[in-house]
């Protein structure tokens, strides 16, 4: 005879996050394919098995047994935040004094010679430290745009770090081929011949790219910008991405200097150039996108090109910011990015989310900017769309188990009772209490559960000091 109670009891899970003060399962609004959005469950719980969300419930639902239980009592639980733009190696030159108040172009030209020292050890150590930093800010998957390749196998080194941590990683094979000799911005020592770029791009795809749902590692191709690669490399990279069905990434329309450069060099504006070289598609997502005019924005929307919005970087570079509310109205995928640690300095996606909120209010005026829930949507579902990962950025059953339990009982949140999502973003600074990637707890009780971190930090200090002393 069957035991009804046993039949109804959910199967045991690997991990259970229970008793959440407030659980955000999915941000809103509903998606284009009709998936319900705006699912929030006060008192909710999430169960994880084999790296996947296997059950979600409310306080009245039967809770599964689990090998490990995390109490989220009084805390906010959200999908893990997704980072759509970063240059992790730049954490070796954070707040680098000689260029701290420059324009984008003077900042780049001041730092390129320092970055020319990048080698495998520096790439691995900076990636390990950078990904650890992202975990503390509630980020569970990230891209990285590594476009300086003075030595070989630097992306392989970053991948070693991501795998050692268990981070969901989307490194992009960046490139620069137009050095000073050819009228470009970077010194010739950090640019590569086009054939070397394309061969290495193909090698990385063949060696590492995993297209399966729930993948922990995907490669994308990412010439640095219209002013640092040749037209031929832009075209050949787009063709290679098409052949291997991988995504494309670059900086676009970040600065007025870029408009002037493109008009003089290519005879057209950056977005026109982007289209001309075969990049106008939903395979591409671009960083910044500050200066498209109305017509160009409509074309980007028609293509389905995504935008990585990097508010802190925009404010520090001081050359405007993306029109995020308009982009969302037009249906462009808009995600959040922390950008390189040499321009943004801090790499917390929570901090970027808060900057996105305040900057949007400031730019759009009273009542017209993003809400806290809009920003959470940008940082989770919007970012996941940019990376071509619709299964990320939600906690629906079947999603990869990437989630964050946020502290809500800090001094800074005292008195915030009426809306946990507003409280999370308006109060703070917030750090993750628990960060789970693919079902594994990587931040535990506010501390990184990474045994190699002290050694990595020591190596990071040694390398970054050596770089900066050499630049004195
Ligand atoms: Zn960037």
Please give the distance, rounded to the nearest whole angstrom, from the Cα atom of residue 244 to the centre of ligand 1: 24
Please give the distance, rounded to the nearest whole angstrom, from the Cα atom of residue 375 to the centre of ligand 1: 20
pLDDT at 391 over 80: yes
What pLDDT shows up at residue 158? Answer: 98
pLDDT at 10 over 80: no
What pLDDT shows up at residue 4? Answer: 45
Query: Which tokens belong to 100?
Result: 């701290």
Tell me the CA end-to-end span of the chain in Å, nearest whole number.
Answer: 80
| Per-residue pLDDT band at 344 (split at 50, 70, 90) | confident
What pLDDT shows up at residue 3? Answer: 46
Going by C-alpha positions, the residue among 288, 265, 274, 287 that lies closest to residue 387 is 287
In the DSSP assignment, the letter for residue 151 is S
Mean pLDDT for 77-93 is 97
pLDDT at 316 over 90: no
Q: Do domains 4-80+392-447 and 81-386 have the same CATH topology?
A: no
Query: Which tokens belong to 360?
Result: 């949007």
Q: What mean pLDDT is reported for the chain?
A: 93
pLDDT at 72 over 90: yes
What pLDDT shows up at residue 286? Answer: 98
CA 21 from centre of chain: 27
Please give the distance, rounded to the nearest whole angstrom, from the Cα atom of residue 287 to the centre of ligand 1: 6
| Per-residue pLDDT band at 9 (split at 50, 70, 90) | low
Q: What is the pLDDT of residues 114-173, one digit of tens each?
A: 999 999 999 999 999 999 999 999 999 999 999 999 999 999 999 999 999 999 999 999
Percent of the chain with pLDDT over 70: 98
- 100-104, 183-187, 224-228, 453-457: lowest mean pLDDT where? 100-104
Q: What is the pLDDT of residues 421-443, one digit of tens each?
A: 999 999 988 999 999 999 999 99
What CATH fold (topology level) applies to the domain 81-386? TIM Barrel (3.20.20)
Please give the distance, rounded to the nearest whole angstrom, from the Cα atom of residue 338 to the centre of ligand 1: 9
What pLDDT shows up at residue 238? Answer: 98
Query: Which tokens belong to 157?
Result: 């080194």
- 167-171, 252-256, 455-459: lowest mean pLDDT where? 252-256
What pLDDT shows up at residue 105? Answer: 78
pLDDT at 7 over 60: no
Please give the distance, rounded to the nearest whole angstrom, from the Cα atom of residue 265 to the centre of ligand 1: 21
pTM listed for this prediction: 0.96
pLDDT at 91 over 90: yes
Residues whose beta carbons lie less than 5 angstroms from ion ligand 1: 287, 339
Beta bridge partners of 82: 141
Please give the distance, rounded to the nearest whole angstrom, from the Cα atom of residue 87 to the centre of ligand 1: 6
Question: For 116-193, where are the alpha helices, taking DSSP H only?
Answer: 120-136, 154-165
What pLDDT shows up at residue 1? Answer: 41
Question: CA angle, 293 as apex, 261 and 315 as ends, to 5°?
Answer: 75
Please give the distance, rounded to the nearest whole angstrom, from the Cα atom of residue 223 to the centre of ligand 1: 11
So where are the chain's domains? 4-80+392-447, 81-386
pLDDT at 196 over 90: yes
What CATH fold (topology level) applies to the domain 4-80+392-447? Urease, subunit C; domain 1 (2.30.40)
> In the β-sheet with 22-26, what is the strand arrangement from edge to edge?
39-42, 22-26, 76-79, 403-406, 432-437, 440-444, 447-448
Q: What is the pLDDT of residues 166-187, one digit of tens each?
A: 999 999 999 999 888 887 778 8
Close Cβ partners of 352 (under 8 Å, ≥ 6 residues apart): 310, 311, 312, 336, 337, 338, 344, 379
What pLDDT shows up at residue 472? Answer: 66
Please give the distance, rounded to the nearest whole angstrom, from the Cα atom of residue 170 to the centre of ligand 1: 15
pLDDT at 326 over 80: yes
Please give the distance, rounded to the nearest whole angstrom, from the Cα atom of residue 233 to the centre of ligand 1: 19
Question: CA angle, 439 as apex, 81 and 33 as ends, to 5°?
Answer: 55
């Amino acid at each position: 005879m069957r035991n009804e109670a046993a039949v109804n009891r959910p199967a045991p899970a690997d991990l259970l996050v229970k008793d959440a003060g407030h659980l955000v399962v999915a941000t809103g609004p509903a998606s284009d394919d009709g998936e319900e959005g705006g699912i929030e469950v006060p008192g909710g719980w999430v169960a994880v098995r084999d790296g996947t969300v296997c059950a979600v419930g409310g306080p009245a639902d039967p809770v599964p047994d689990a090998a490990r239980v995390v109490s989220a009592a009084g805390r906010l639980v959200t999908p893990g935040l997704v980072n759509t733009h970063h240059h992790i190696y730049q954490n070796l030159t954070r707040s680098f004094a000689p260029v701290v108040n420059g324009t984008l172009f003077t900042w780049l030209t001041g730092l390129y010679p320092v970055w020319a020292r990048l080698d495998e050890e520096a790439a691995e150590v900076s990636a390990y430290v950078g990904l650890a930093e992202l975990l503390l800010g509630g980020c569970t998957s990230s891209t990285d745009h590594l476009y300086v390749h003075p030595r070989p196998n630097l992306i392989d080194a970053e991948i070693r770090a991501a795998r050692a941590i268990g981070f969901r990683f989307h490194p992009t094979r960046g490139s620069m081929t137009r050095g000073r000799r050819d009228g470009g911005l970077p010194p010739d020592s950090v640019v590569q011949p086009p054939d070397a770029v394309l061969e290495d791009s193909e090698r990385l795809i063949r060696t590492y790219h995993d297209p399966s749902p729930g993948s922990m590692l995907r490669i994308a191709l990412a010439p640095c910008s219209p002013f640092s690669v040749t037209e031929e490399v832009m075209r050949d990279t787009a063709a290679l991405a098409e052949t291997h069905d991988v995504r494309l990434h670059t900086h676009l329309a970040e600065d007025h200097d870029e408009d002037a450069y493109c008009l003089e060099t290519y005879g057209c504006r950056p977005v026109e150039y982007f289209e001309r070289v075969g990049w106008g598609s939903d395979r591409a997502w671009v960083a910044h996108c500050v200066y498209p005019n109305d017509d160009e924005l409509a074309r980007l929307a028609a293509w389905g090109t995504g935008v990585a919005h990097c508010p802190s970087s925009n404010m520090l570079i001081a050359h405007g910011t993306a029109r995020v509310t308009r982009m969302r109205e037009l249906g462009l995928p808009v995600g959040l990015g922390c950008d390189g640690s040499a321009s943004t300095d801090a790499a917390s996606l929570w901090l970027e989310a808060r900057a996105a909120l305040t900057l949007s209010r400031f730019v759009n005026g009273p009542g017209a900017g993003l809400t806290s829930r809009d920003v959470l949507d940008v940082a989770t579902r919007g970012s996941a769309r940019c990376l071509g990962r619709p299964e990320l950025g939600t906690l629906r059953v079947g999603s990869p188990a990437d989630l964050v339990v946020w502290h809500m009982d800090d001094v800074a949140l005292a008195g915030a009772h009426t809306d946990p999502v507003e409280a999370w973003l308006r109060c703070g600074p917030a750090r993750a209490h628990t960060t789970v990637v693919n079902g594994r707890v990587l931040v535990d009780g506010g501390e990184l559960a990474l045994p190699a971190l002290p050694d990595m930090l020591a190596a990071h200090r040694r390398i970054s000091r050596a770089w900066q002393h050499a630049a004195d």
